[in-house]
A and B are shown apart, each in its own frame.
Chain A
Amino acid sequence: MTNSLARPFRLPSPWRAGVILTALVLALPVLTVFGFVFQPAGEVWRHLADTVLKDYVLNSALLLLGVGLGTLFGGVASAWLCSMCQFPGRRMFEWALLLPMAMPAYIIAYTYTGMLDFAGPVQTGLRDLFGWSYGDYWFPEIRSLGGAIVMLSLVLYPYVYLLARAAFLEQSICVLEVGRTLRAGPWTGFFRIALPLARPAVIAGLSLALMEALADYGTVQYFGVATFTTGIFRTWFGLGDAAAAAQLAALMMSFVFILIVLERWSRRQARYHHTSGRYRHLPRYQLRGWRAVAAFGLCLLPLLFGFLLPAGQLLVWAVATAEKTLDAEFLRLVWHSLGLAGAAAVLAVLLGLFMAYGKRLRGSYGVAVAVRIAGMGYAVPGTVIAVGVLIPFAWIDNRIDAWMRASFDISTGLLLSGTLVALLFAYTVRFLAVSLQTVEAGLGKIKPSMDDAARSLGLPPNQVLTRIHMPIMRGSLLTALLLVFVDVLKELPATLILRPFNFNTLAVRAFELASDERLAESATAALAIVLVGIIPVILLSRSITRARPGHE
């Protein structure tokens, strides 16, 4: 794939230049914020180190560990069961397991707190039933680090599930059959063949989940867990110290960076594409008896707690408050949310495809680094990205304005700041990693010899992409589209800060009401996010199944 016959003093190819340029533009917000890193902030650091830094590091690390284990187990196990085994309900679980993805983390946190808190119906019911009062009994505290881990795992495991399932489905059955001839049973086949082969996809899903967990603000803030994200906010806005806040953000991102580097290092020279082009209908392991029950239960658990229960509660609230909340304005919110999410998804996938393919084509060190940097936005809290967009956009706008005033005595005002362009840009920066990771995982499974064959038959690089790669990895592309769509639908902080006048989305509405502790009234908007999110989830889940190579 790299052109080993390249002549030494060649000009950079348009691909390489394009990728690096795009990456730089997309890295602008993150770099803007990181620019503050070089401002001195010594005294605040001493204060932080003396008081709260230890908590930030410890809580964030524990949160990552917990969410990592939770999503890995939930996602991989359910993906394997749904793609390789046959048991009652499998066809339903195949798509239903994706549903929790449509649930914003802060909404599920508010909902469970409403149900499980000391003053909530569950505990009150227990107290009434047994005549207990405070201190007589033990009940898990929902608003704690443990609670935050459970909440985030419940809504983030679908990332692992989705990517792992796509990988299992794209795997050639031949390797598994070879495994069987070597006497590998179902378990060995899973642990020693399928899982290691699916590793890039599983890791891609996991790192998305972890980055999202690290960037989460709504849940940890509501639960009173001091993490890096809450710390960045306190430091930036409360203590008024942008430099120390940026340094905290840098420290936080180094967490992610170290994890990624470690993982890459452990893979080293391993390659994960398939060498056989033979695909057959997957013969699923038929599960019966207790095994079928266990599989059913295992798949039901995340679905029940990640979706059915909270959505049910939201529905009850929504019905109770529908009169107040459903009006023409509400339809506008739905339309705004859909439009933004759709536009951002297409944009992010196109850019992701461009960058991932550019990297495959011209896999130089510079390109690889550029692609990595462009994808960093995902681990940065939305508010930080938003401020990172705000500053350069306003700067450019004001520069143009100043120049126009000087030259023509006309004020152009703000051209891009406060428009949907700025908002879409912020979404792209924040969620490019999602499409990039997914597309890269998909491309990684296509043999380089395909490229070579296509090129030797005279196809130019861009046609190799559109005529060979894109059809092969349709599943991955659709997955990427879906992930970004749902993510943007749920996105809150950047939308809040960057949106134009008189422009609201479902997420803004749901959050405003919930944060004012009017949980029941926020339910209609929250439920609408979930419903709007479900439709593409189901549609795309079907396409992913159909997109399996060799599938008629």
Chain B
Amino acid sequence: MKTVLFSILLFLMPMFGSFALAAEVNLYSARQEALIKPLLDRFTEQTGIQVNLVSAKDDTLIKRLESEGRNSPADLLLTADAGRLHRASELGLLAPVESTVLEQRIPANYRDPEGHWFGLSLRARPILYARDRVDPEALSTYADLTDPRWKGRICIRSSDNIYNQSLVAARIATHGEADTEAWARGLVANFARPPRGGDRDQIKAVAAGQCDIAIANTYYLAAMLNDDQESERASAERLAVFWPDQDGSGVHVNVSGIGLTTAARNREQALRLMEFLVSDEAQRWYADSNHEYPVVEGVEASDTLKAWGTFKPDGINLSELGRYNADALRLMDRVGWR
């Protein structure tokens, strides 16, 4: 009986199973295909290692990884948010990696202390303001945005969004929950409209005059400034970037990052891909095509980003974002940040 079953399974396996071919690495990516594929193609070109890709939302990829368990075909998990990597690592899905290349090139606060995940590109979430209606002298900190003089002037997207969840989580990590709740309450009171749309929509709303200030990731503004469409460029040009909290804790940042799965079978190839992603070439690509800040020091940002000057980023270890994510969400529910 067992042998019959065995031979049937042996026959079926090539039809279903993901056989490890000579050199390949399997990647679950929360970064969508268009934003990562060119880089992966370049890697394949250089090393001959084939990269297989499934892209989906980070939470669902983590769920897939979790239920597939030790047989998961995925070698690497790539997400657009450090909080999610932390969660995957808490679930025991990520294996610690020791690599001098990764440790030397990536600053300590942008990677997991135990090597479960590594940041690949940096995303800043500062204050964007309308050039014609806001005097940058009047801006100072995120905390100042709760002042009544900003009433009805602030646009930001919904709390469903991970960038806002991480913004609040980072604040809880540095300022404590009570302080953050008061801050969020004040911010919500100054909203120009109920949160809706994405980051680009907030930028456009400022350009159109519906609000004077938006909190959004800089690469959206940079992408709009470099858009093929006139109207997008025109909207974006009406805004400028203000780096808040430069005398205090710094601008809120997040990373897109990567971790090796505990189920990984192509560890060696996976490690090569991780190291490739922090190479000068890959880092430059992040900067030039996506307008994200390179995580490796010494690699230049894109011209658009350079024009905005340098800034002091929030120095907390980004695992904190994952630690306080659920607290952040509850807090936003409580203050009515929809």
Contact = CB atoms under 8 A, between A and B. Distances in A.
A113 to B, nearest CB: 7
A124 B208 contact: yes
A412 B17 contact: yes
Contact of B73 (A236, A418, A504, A508): A418
Interface string A205-241: 0000000000000000111101000100110111110
Interface string A409-434: 00111111111010000000000000
B43 to A, nearest CB: 15
Nearest to B3: A408
A515 B80 CA distance: 14
Interface string A514-528: 011100100000000
Interface in A376-419: 383, 386-387, 390-391, 394-395, 397-398, 400-401, 404, 407-408, 411-419
A398 B32 contact: no
B192 to A, nearest CB: 9
A276 interface: no
A408 B34 CA distance: 43
A240 B90 CA distance: 12
10 contacts: A55-B338, A118-B205, A119-B204, A224-B338, A238-B160, A404-B6, A407-B2, A414-B16, A421-B16, A497-B64
Interface in B191-217: 194-201, 204-205, 207-210
Interface stretch (B100-108, B300-308, B324-332): B324-332
Contacts of A503: 54
B138 interface: no
Interface in A124-180: 124, 127, 133-134, 143-144
B12 interface: yes
B12 to A, nearest CB: 7
Contacts of A55: 338
Given A390-B67, A497-B64, A224 B56 contact: no
B13 A412 contact: yes
A210 to B, nearest CB: 23
Contact of A512 (B55, B195, B228): B55
B333 interface: yes
Interface of B: 2, 6, 9, 12-13, 16-18, 26, 32-35, 52-57, 59-61, 63-64, 67-73, 87, 158, 160, 165, 194-201, 204-205, 207-210, 220, 228-229, 231, 235, 325-326, 329-330, 333-334, 336, 338
Contact of A387 (B60, B197, B326): B60
B59 A413 contact: no
Contacts of A535: none
A386 B329 CA distance: 24
B201 A516 contact: no
Interface string A90-117: 0000000000000000000000010001
A277 to B, nearest CB: 49
Given A51-B336, A501-B18, 18 more contacts: A47-B333, A52-B333, A118-B204, A144-B196, A224-B158, A407-B6, A413-B17, A414-B17, A414-B68, A414-B72, A418-B54, A499-B54, A500-B54, A502-B52, A512-B32, A512-B55, A513-B32, A516-B35
Contacts of A501: 18, 26, 52-54, 73
A418 B26 CA distance: 12
A224 B194 contact: yes
A416 B196 contact: no
A13 to B, nearest CB: 30
Contact of A238 (B6, B26, B329): B329
B53 A502 contact: yes
Q: Determine the main DSSP class of B at the interface with A.
A: helix
B333 A113 contact: no
Interface string A257-296: 0000000000000000000000000000000000000000
Contact of A391 (B53, B67, B228, B334): B67
For the complex of A and B, list the 8 residue pairs with the smallest distance between their C-beta atoms, beginning with the closest: A224-B196, A119-B204, A501-B52, A237-B59, A512-B32, A394-B67, A51-B333, A143-B196
Given A404-B9, A501-B26, A119 B235 contact: yes
Contacts of B67: 387, 390-391, 394-395, 417
A11 B195 CA distance: 60
B158 A497 contact: no
Contacts of A414: 16-18, 68, 71-73
Nearest to B54: A501
Nearest to A239: B326
A501 B37 CA distance: 13
A506 B54 CA distance: 15
Given A119-B201, A394-B68, A415-B13, A238 B56 contact: no
Contacts of B72: 414
Contacts of B208: 118-119, 123-124, 127, 134
A229 to B, nearest CB: 11
Contact of A419 (B2, B16, B210, B235): B16
Nearest to A387: B63
Contact of A233 (B54, B160, B196): B160
Nearest to B204: A119
**Residue of A51, A119, A397, A512 with most chain B CB atoms under a 10 A cut-off:** A119
A246 to B, nearest CB: 13
A113 B196 CA distance: 11
A226 B329 contact: no
A496 interface: yes
B34 A513 contact: yes
A496 B87 CA distance: 20
B279 to A, nearest CB: 24
Nearest to A123: B208
Contacts of B63: 387, 390, 497
Contacts of B34: 512-513, 516
A462 B198 CA distance: 54
